[in-house]
Structure 1
Amino acid sequence: MSEKSASLIPVLIASSLKPAKDTRAWGKLGLSLRESGHFSLIFMGFSQIRLKNSEDEKFYRSLSNTNSRWGRISSQAIFLKTLLRTRPKILICCTYEYLPIASFFKRILGYKLVYDVQENYIKNLDLNPRLSPAKKRKISRLIRGMEQMKGIDLFLLAELCYTEEMPDKTPFLILENKYAGEIKSVSPFKFSLKEGYCFLISGTLTPAFGTLEAIDWFKEILNEFPKSILKIIGHCTLPSFRISLQKACENTPQIQLKASSFPIPNELIITEYSEIDFAVLPYQNRNAIKDKMPTKLFESAALGVPVLISRNPKWLDFLGTFSGGFPIDFFDPQHACQQFRAALHREYFTQSPDDSILWKSQHTDFVLAIKNLNPIK
């Protein structure tokens, strides 16, 4: 161990079901702490393969199969073992599942405890069609109990709306899922009329995110724009829904479906943006979704790609400042071509988005908040 690394403050950023190189935990939280030069970083998360360590960055696997119930249970023991082995001065939990162990051992190991609230997990239960009302109530009580563990020094809130939805989570710092890169310079442009356009649906694929409705919408678009292509690439956690997507795409070669049972590296999705005309965000108007800011909004804005998005005042206000998208009713396939023609007549990126859409706009506040935790030296 070098003299430099010995002087750095060890930080463990841990999750169970998120990838060890998760876009937020590793690519954003880790990036900011790494750039500050004050911390050595330890990451724990899902991985199918062993990840290489470096001098100031080490990785531990929480589990290798996200669908294994035994794996979910054994990851608790792995987390405790990792905690005792690494003895961090700051622990950032990116999942409520680790909070009971984290809370108990905080008194023994003396670290500061941070909870990165990436979702309103209780609200999200309404998005899972497999859960009965009784099971939702049971899981809700379990989540609430874990999230109310004592000893949490700081809550990181991934959405502004969480301050109202979860007012008990204090003290807090809002860290939205903004784009961890730079803004691509794009001049104002309109689309020329052609026989086909390329669309992308990416990220998590669930019924509530409107993927099936978007497929029906796209099939109508093919009637007037037969050379169009729809790329669907993302993580599909429900096997039954993956089958539904496959059936919906049958006999339509213009649809390229890649629905993975494992998380897809974000860099692969970002690469797709360079080959598309529109990003498609067909979210349903559900309580668990409507007040949030999808990560793909920030990504599309920074990469200069217009979005076709479900009508939502918050999202349209965000896009309106630089003409970054157009509202589409994906539940009205009968008028799909009419709405899309209107989108083609719009001028996009009449202004450049400002740096507020970037992760670096939150970098200083985050690093300062972690430093101010005053870890034991």
Structure 2
Amino acid sequence: MSDNPAPRIPVLIASTLKPIQDPRAFGKLALSLGETNKYQINIIGFSSKKLKNTIDFRFFSSMGDSSFWSRIGSQIRLFRCLIKIKPKLVVCCTWEFLPVLSLFKSILGFKLVYDVQENYISNLDLNPELNEKQKRKRAFWIGWAEKKAKVDLYLLAEKCYQEEMPEKWPFLVLENKFQGKSYNSAPKDFKTRTEFRFCLTGTLTPAFGTVQAIRWFQEIQKVYPKSRLSVIGHAPVPEFFQKLKGIEKESHGMDWMISQTPIPHEQLINTIAAADFSLLPYSLHAAIADKMPSKLFECAALGTPVLITPNPKWENFLAPFKGGFGIDFSDLMQAVPMFQQAIRQTYFSTPAPGDVLWDSQKSDFQQAIDQLLS
């Protein structure tokens, strides 16, 4: 019997604007495949600097900035990776790479998995910088790329995508659950507190209610002046980024770390873990209301109560372990009374269940890839 280990199967996980060490592409998909010791994992994604390769992972930069020409150049870099790696499996995390991958799929003979992280066409309505003509043009190209793709398996990041995109089949639902272990948080009671730590983290856009949450916090400050709000995240819309910078200059009692490129996920998690309340002021736009924001899973696992826009789907998720409270962030007249009602609650009287963790669905992903390559 040979002592030589079986050669590892080359895998490429590919995206454009997502960071190389993106919490989903790297932290969930890549690490889950890597721990099986069956695959040699290669990752191409957004990075402004060269990352050091390891025994298990090789990193390639798709682009170092978000300019038009960098996006064009990312297609060439993807082609070079394909030729160099000769993967047996490609996990595509962006619709922009689908045409190139579909072209070379038959030539190189790899299996193609499309990780559907967003309903990209529906999300065009969330971008305030696009007019109707621009939306139609982008929708055409997204639709064309997805319809022409020769996909062997779809990974759906939301359960609602089954109904929104029934043509994406066969599929496996892999929600954006928390990668890590659940904190066995003791019940949290704020009845005697007079100062609070809030956080507003992640993607910062108008549709996600960023400004409403800041204005809401400023109302809370009038009654609880020692309270603080940490605003940390990625503001991808240039005009909105400048608006937030203007608000930052005028604000007090607030800690800011905003960028037009993604913030390292570990910093977001540390901020949430240190907060008394995480603010999730999402609008109930059709492109948002049926989704399960990753921060819901993160806050549940970290034991941080959330104040969230009332939505039966989200409130039903939180109710069994009392993980949050519904707040209308747009109603500033009721900001203080509603918050005072919120702090009369006891949170996490029951620990969050294990199914808020990525581990609850990891084996399904590993088995699906095994079957695809068998």
Pair in the same fold by TM > 0.5 = yes
Q: Deviations over 1:186-225 (max 9, x none)?
A: 1222114333201001000101000100111011001110
Partner of 2:62 in structure 1? 62
1:26 corresponds to 2:26: yes
**Secondary structure of 2:189's match?**
coil
- The equivalent residue for 2:155 is 156
For residues 146-185 of structure 1, the aligned pairs below 5 Å read: 146-185=145-184
Shift of 1:251: 3.0
Q: Where does the alignment leave 5 or more consecutive residues of structure 1 unmatched?
A: none
Taking the aligned partners of 1:153 and 1:358, their CA distance within structure 2 comes to 26
User: Could you tell me how far apart the structure 2 residues matched to 1:56 and 1:76 are?
Assistant: 25
SS at match of 1:373: helix
Aligned to 1:96: 95
For structure 1, which segment, 88-97 or 366-375, has the greater mean C-alpha deviation from structure 2 after superposition? 366-375
Judge conservation of contact 1:215–1:249 (CA < 8 Å) in 2. Answer: no
Structure 1 residue 56: Cα displacement: 2.0
Whole-Å separation in 1 of the counterparts to 2:69 and 2:4: 41
* Other-structure match for 2:322: 323
TM-score where L is the length of structure 2: 0.97
Do the aligned residues in 1 keep the contact of 2:41 with 2:58 (CA within 8 Å)? yes
Q: Is 2:273–2:303's contact at 8 Å kept on the other side of the alignment?
A: no
Alignment of 1:231 with 2:230, yes or no, is: yes
Equivalents in 2 of 1:346, 1:23: separation in Å? 32
Distance 1:150 1:281 in 2: 35
Which portions of structure 1, spanning 4 or more consecutive aligned residues, are displaced by more than 4 angstroms? none
Task: State the one-letter code of the partner of 2:308.
Answer: I
Q: Equivalent residue for 2:35?
A: 35
CA shift for structure 1 position 148: 1.1
Aligned position for 2:119: 120
3-state SS, counterpart of residue 233 of structure 2: strand
Counterpart Cα distance in 2 of 1:200 and 1:189: 17
Corresponding residue number in structure 1 for 2:192? 193
Deviation at 1:74, TM superposition (A): 0.7
**Stretches of structure 2 lacking an aligned partner (at least 5 in a row):** none
In 2: Cα distance, 1:81 partner to 1:363 partner:
30
Percent identity, aligned pairs only, is 48
Q: Return the offset for 1:3.
A: 5.1
User: Shift of residue 276 of structure 1?
Assistant: 1.0
In 1: Cα distance, 2:37 partner to 2:225 partner: 53
Provide the C-alpha distance between the structure 1 equivalents of 2:222 and 2:4, rounded to a whole number of angstroms. Answer: 66
Output the amino acid matched with 1:35: E
Using the alignment, how far apart are the partners of 1:3 and 1:9 within structure 2? 15
Taking the aligned partners of 1:222 and 1:131, their CA distance within structure 2 comes to 35
Q: CA RMSD, aligned part only?
A: 1.2
Q: Partner residue of 2:16?
A: 16
Alignment-mate amino acid for residue 205 of structure 2: T
Contact in 2 for aligned 1:308/1:325 (Cα 8 Å): yes
Deviation at residue 239 of structure 1 after TM alignment = 1.7
Give the aligned partner of residue 364 of structure 2.
365
1:275 Cα deviation (Å)?
Answer: 2.0
Distance 1:240 1:223 in 2: 29
Name the structure 1 match of 2:281: 282
Letter in 1 for 2:86: R
